[in-house]
C-alpha cells in the first residue's frame, strides 16, 4: 500500500467529544482515517474545508427497489388501508423488477442517500429470483446488481441477503406473490457465498444476513442459517424485522406463547451483532431486555409513520442505555435529519412535552440522537464507520455555515439547526466517502447519468 499523504484542515469538526477547532484530518489510500488532530496549526499546502465537517450517517435499513414506488400508495384503495394492504401493492411492484431496473433504481437511490448525508447503507435484500420463482443463471444476480449500484454511487455497503422461507408463523407455505423471495437456509448461504466470490469484501463492502422476520423463518431454520453464517463470517451482522405490527405480535403470541422480542431474546444469543428493525411494539420488560442485550434497535421513523406502525418507546429505551440507529427503509423519505426529527416529535406528540429525548448530561436533543444513531448505525453495519477517528472510514459531510438553518448560530446549536430546521434545501454541501468527494455544491458527481437511468427504468416499471 502506498502512503501518499491525504489531508484536510477544518476550522470546525464534530469529533466523538463534540465540536473541536482547527482539526487536521489525514487518511490513507485505502480510504481510512489515520489521524484526527484538534487544535492543529494550519499549514500551507493542506486543503481547507469550506465549512464545518461532521461524520456521515450510516443508513441501517434499506429495501432499494421500494424507492421507485414512493408516493404511489398514498390513496385509499379500500375501506380501511393498512400495512398489509400496502404490502400487497408493494409485492405487485416487486414482481416487475428486473436486474437492470433494480440496478438503476438502487444507483439513483444511493446518489440520493449520499446527497442527504448517508455515507453507508445496510441493504436488507430479499428479491432474489426471477418473477416465476426460478433462479437466475447467476443465483446472486440481483444482489450483485445492488452491490454494483453501491460501488458506482460511492456509498459504503453492508449487504444482507435475506432468508424468507414461510408466509407466517407455524411454517405456513409462501404465497405465490412471495416466490421471488424464497430460500432455504442452505440455498441462502449458497447465494451469499456466490455473491462474495463475485464481489469480495473491501473497505467499502461487507456482508451479513437477515432472517426476514419471525413470520418468515422457523426456529430451526434460523439456527441453521446462523450456524452457516458463523462458519463463513464469524461475528457478521444479523438483521431482522421484529415487531412492526400489532397483528404479528398477536400471531407470535398465539404461535409461541411469547411476544416477538421476548421470544427472540429467549431463544437466541442476541447481542451486539444483532439489529432488530422495527422493535416498535415492545412492553416494558422487552424494552429493558433489548436495551441490556447490546443489540441495536433499527428505527425507520418516516416509513413507520407512513405505514401506520406505531410509536417505539424511545424515552424509556434510551434511559436504559439502549442502542439505536436509523434507516430509510421504504424510502418515502431519504433523509436522516427527518428520521431524527420524527423520533423526537413522536415522543413530544405522545407525551405533550418538549425535548423528551435529551438527558441531564446531553441537553441538546439533536446532538444526543445524532451521536446515538452514528454509534448504533456503525455497530449494525459491522464496519468501522460513524466517527471522525483514526481507523474509521474517511466518510464525512461538509456543512454550509451560511445556510439559513445555521447562519448566525454558535457551534453548539449547529446540530439542532441541521436536524430541526427545515428552510428549504439542505445545509449539507459536500459529502466524502473513503476520502473521496462524491457530492459537491449539493450535487453528486454521477447525478445526471444516474437519474437518466432511473427515469428509463421507471418508465418501463410504470408502463
Chain residues in the site for Zn ion (CB under 5 A): 329
The 3-state secondary structure of 3-57 reads CCCEEEEEEEEEECCEEEEEEEEEECCCCEEEEEECCCCCCCCCEECCCCEEECE
Q: Which is nearer to ligand NGQ, 53 or 94 (CB)?
A: 94
Contact predicate 135/446, CB 8 Å: no
**Block residue for cell numbers 429467549:** 266
What's the angle, vertex CA 455, arms to CA 450 and CA 459, rounded to 5? 150
- Of these, 303, 379, 405, 426, which contacts ligand NGQ (CB under 6 A)? 303
- Of these, 6, 12, 20, 63, which contacts ligand NGQ (CB under 6 A)? 63
Contact predicate 109/334, CB 8 Å: yes
Question: Please, what is the minimum distance in Å from the beta carbon of residue 329 to ligand NGQ?
Answer: 5
- Of these, 87, 267, 440, 443, which contacts ligand NGQ (CB under 6 A)? 87
329 is catalytic: yes
Q: Is 386 left (phi over 0), alpha (psi -120 to 50) or beta?
A: left
Name the grid cell of 343. 423520533
Q: Is 238 helix (H, G, I), strand (E, B) or coil?
A: strand
Question: Please, what is the minimum distance in Å from the beta carbon of residue 303 to ligand NGQ?
Answer: 5
Q: Which is nearer to Zn ion, 139 or 329 (CB)?
A: 329
Burial per residue of 20-42, b for 16 or more beta-carbon CB atoms within 10 angstroms, e otherwise: beebbbbbbeebbbbebeeebee
Q: Per rule CB under 6 A, is residue 165 in the interface with ligand NGQ? A: no
Q: Per rule CB under 6 A, is residue 244 in the interface with ligand NGQ? A: yes
Q: Which is nearer to Zn ion, 215 or 393 (CB)?
A: 215
Residue 12 interacting entry, from ligand NGQ, Zn ion, none, C-beta within 5 to 8 Å by type: none
By CB under 6 A, the count of residues binding ligand NGQ is 9
Per-state percent for the chain, helix, strand, coil, to nearest 5: 40, 20, 40
**C-alpha torsion angle, residues 89, 91, 92, 95 (rounded to 10):** 160
Residue 364 interacting entry, from ligand NGQ, Zn ion, none, C-beta within 5 to 8 Å by type: none
Contact predicate 397/56, CB 8 Å: yes
> Cα dist. 72→50, 102, 211 in Å?
39, 18, 27
Residues 250-289 that bind ligand NGQ (CB under 6 A): none
Question: Please, what is the minimum distance in Å from the beta carbon of residue 59 to ligand NGQ?
Answer: 14
Question: Please, what is the minimum distance in Å from the beta carbon of residue 91 to ligand NGQ?
Answer: 8
Q: Per rule CB under 6 A, is residue 241 in the interface with ligand NGQ? A: yes
Residues 173-232 that bind ligand NGQ (CB under 6 A): 213
Contact predicate 433/393, CB 8 Å: yes
Q: Which is nearer to Zn ion, 65 or 370 (CB)?
A: 65
Choose, from 278, 281, 331, 432, the residue flagged as catalytic.
278
> If residue 93 lies in a helix (H) or strand (E), which one and from where to where?
helix 83-94
Give 170: exposed, middle or buried? Use CB within 10 Å, 0-12, 13-18, 19+.
exposed
Residue 259 interacting entry, from ligand NGQ, Zn ion, none, C-beta within 5 to 8 Å by type: none
Q: E strands, 357-395, where?
A: none
Residue 244 interacting entry, from Zn ion, ligand NGQ, none, C-beta within 5 to 8 Å by type: ligand NGQ
Question: Please, what is the minimum distance in Å from the beta carbon of residue 432 to ligand NGQ?
Answer: 30
Q: E strands, 56-191, where?
A: 57-62, 118-125, 156-163
Question: Please, what is the minimum distance in Å from the beta carbon of residue 139 to ligand NGQ?
Answer: 20
Show Cβ contacts of residue 312 under 8 Å, excluding neighbours closer than 6 positions.
Answer: 279, 280, 282, 297, 299, 304, 346
Q: Which is nearer to Zn ion, 212 or 341 (CB)?
A: 212
Q: Per rule CB under 6 A, is residue 302 in the interface with ligand NGQ? A: no
Residues 305-344 that bind ligand NGQ (CB under 6 A): 307, 329-330
Residue 331 interacting entry, from Zn ion, ligand NGQ, none, C-beta within 5 to 8 Å by type: none
C-alpha to C-alpha distance for 366 and 417, rounded to whole angstroms: 9
Question: Please, what is the minimum distance in Å from the beta carbon of residue 183 to ligand NGQ?
Answer: 14
Residue 87 interacting entry, from ligand NGQ, Zn ion, none, C-beta within 5 to 8 Å by type: ligand NGQ
CB closest to ligand NGQ, residue no:
63
Q: Which is nearer to ligand NGQ, 87 or 436 (CB)?
A: 87
Question: Please, what is the minimum distance in Å from the beta carbon of residue 170 to ligand NGQ?
Answer: 16
Q: Per rule CB under 6 A, is residue 368 in the interface with ligand NGQ? A: no
Contact predicate 347/68, CB 8 Å: no
Choose, from 309, 329, 335, 446, the residue flagged as catalytic.
329
Residue 303 interacting entry, from ligand NGQ, Zn ion, none, C-beta within 5 to 8 Å by type: ligand NGQ
Name the grid cell of 81. 388501508
Q: Which residues bind ligand NGQ (CB under 6 A)?
A: 63, 87, 213, 241, 244, 303, 307, 329-330
Residues labelled as active-site residues: 278, 329
Amino acid at each position: 500500500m502506498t502512503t501518499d499523504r491525504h489531508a484536510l484542515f477544518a476550522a470546525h469538526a464534530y469529533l466523538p467529544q463534540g465540536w473541536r477547532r482547527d482539526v487536521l484530518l489525514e487518511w490513507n489510500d485505502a480510504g481510512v482515517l489515520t489521524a484526527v488532530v484538534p487544535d492543529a496549526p494550519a499549514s500551507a499546502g493542506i486543503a481547507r474545508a469550506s465549512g464545518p465537517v461532521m461524520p456521515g450517517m450510516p443508513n441501517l435499513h434499506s429495501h432499494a427497489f421500494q424507492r421507485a414506488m414512493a408516493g404511489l400508495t398514498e390513496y385509499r384503495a379500500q375501506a380501511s388501508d393498512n400495512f398489509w394492504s400496502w404490502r400487497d401493492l408493494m409485492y405487485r411492484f416487486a414482481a416487475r423488477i428486473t436486474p437492470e431496473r433494480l440496478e438503476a433504481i438502487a444507483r439513483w437511490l444511493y446518489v440520493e442517500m449520499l446527497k442527504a448525508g448517508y455515507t453507508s447503507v445496510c441493504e436488507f435484500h430479499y428479491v432474489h429470483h426471477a418473477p416465476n420463482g426460478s433462479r437466475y443463471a447467476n443465483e446472486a444476480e440481483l444482489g450483485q446488481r445492488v452491490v454494483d449500484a453501491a460501488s458506482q454511487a460511492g456509498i459504503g455497503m453492508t449487504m444482507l441477503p435475506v432468508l424468507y422461507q414461510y408466509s407466517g408463523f407455524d411454517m405456513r407455505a409462501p404465497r405465490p406473490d412471495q416466490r421471488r423471495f424464497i430460500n432455504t437456509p442452505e440455498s441462502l448461504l449458497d447465494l451469499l457465498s456466490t455473491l462474495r466470490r463475485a464481489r469480495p469484501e473491501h473497505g467499502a463492502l461487507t456482508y451479513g444476513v437477515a432472517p426476514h422476520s419471525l413470520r418468515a423463518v422457523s426456529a430451526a431454520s434460523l439456527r441453521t442459517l446462523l450456524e452457516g453464517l458463523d462458519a463463513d463470517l464469524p461475528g457478521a451482522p444479523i438483521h431482522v424485522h421484529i415487531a412492526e405490527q400489532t397483528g404479528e405480535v398477536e400471531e407470535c403470541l398465539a404461535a409461541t406463547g411469547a411476544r416477538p422480542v421476548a421470544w427472540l431474546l429467549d431463544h437466541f444469543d442476541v447481542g451486539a451483532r444483532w439489529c432488530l428493525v422495527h422493535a416498535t411494539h415492545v412492553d416494558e420488560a422487552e424494552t429493558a431486555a433489548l436495551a441490556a442485550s447490546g443489540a441495536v434497535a433499527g428505527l425507520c421513523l418516516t416509513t413507520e409513520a407512513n405505514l401506520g406502525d406505531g410509536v417505539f418507546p424511545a424515552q424509556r429505551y434510551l434511559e436504559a442505555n439502549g442502542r439505536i440507529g436509523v434507516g430509510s427503509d421504504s424510502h418515502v423519505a431519504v433523509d436522516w435529519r427527518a428520521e431524527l426529527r420524527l423520533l423526537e416529535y413522536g415522543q413530544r406528540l405522545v407525551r405533550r412535552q418538549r425535548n423528551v429525548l435529551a438527558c441531564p448530561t446531553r441537553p441538546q436533543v439533536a446532538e444526543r440522537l445524532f451521536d446515538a444513531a452514528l454509534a448504533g448505525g456503525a455497530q449494525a453495519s459491522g464496519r468501522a464507520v460513524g466517527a471522525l477517528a483514526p481507523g474509521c472510514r474517511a466518510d464525512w459531510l461538509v456543512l454550509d455555515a451560511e445556510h439559513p438553518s445555521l447562519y448566525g448560530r454558535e457551534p453548539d446549536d449547529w446540530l439542532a439547526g441541521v436536524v430541526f430546521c427545515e428552510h428549504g434545501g439542505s445545509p449539507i454541501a459536500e459529502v466524502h466517502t473513503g476520502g473521496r468527494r462524491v457530492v459537491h455544491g449539493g450535487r453528486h458527481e454521477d447525478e445526471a447519468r444516474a437519474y437518466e437511468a432511473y427515469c428509463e427504468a421507471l418508465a418501463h416499471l410504470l408502463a
